[in-house]
Amino acid sequence: MASTPIMSGVATPAMPAHWRDFVALTKPRVMTLVVFTGLCGLLAAPGHIHPVLAFTAILCIALGAGAAATLNQWWEADIDAKMKRTANRPLPAGRMDRQAALHFGVGLSFFSVLLMGVATNWLAAAVLTVSILFYVFIYTIWLKPRTAQNIVIGGAAGAFPPIIGWAAVTGDIGALPVALFMLTFFWTPPHFWALALFVRPDYAAAGIPMLPVVAGERATRRQIWLYTAIMAAAALAPVLMRLTGAIYGTVALAGTGLFVALAFQVYRSRETDPARMTAERRLFKYSILYLFLMFGAVVVDRWLLA
Tens digits of per-residue pLDDT, 63-73?
A: 999 999 999 99
Query: Which residue from 305, 165, 303, 179 is spatially nearest to 231, judged by alpha carbons?
Result: 179
Residues 6+ apart with CB under 8 A from 296: 40
Mean pLDDT of 28-34: 92
How confident is residue 2, by pLDDT bands cut at 50, 70 and 90?
very low
According to DSSP H, which parts of 120-199 are helical?
A: 122-133, 150-154, 161-170, 175-198
pLDDT of residue 149: 87
| Cα 180 off chain centre by | 14
Give the Cα separation of 193 and 235 in Å (integer): 19
pLDDT of residue 9: 58
**Model confidence pLDDT, tens digit, residues 203-234:** 998 899 999 999 999 999 999 999 999 999 99
Burial class from Cβ neighbours inside 10 Å (0-12, 13-18, 19+) for residue 32 reads middle
Residue 106 has pLDDT above 50, yes or no: yes
* Top-confidence residue, 15 or 120: 120
CB atoms under 10 Å from CB of 88, counted, come to 12
Give the Cα separation of 79 and 73 in Å (integer): 9
Which helix (H) or strand (E) segment holds residue 4: the answer is: strand 4-5
- CA torsion sign for 60, 61, 63, 64 is positive
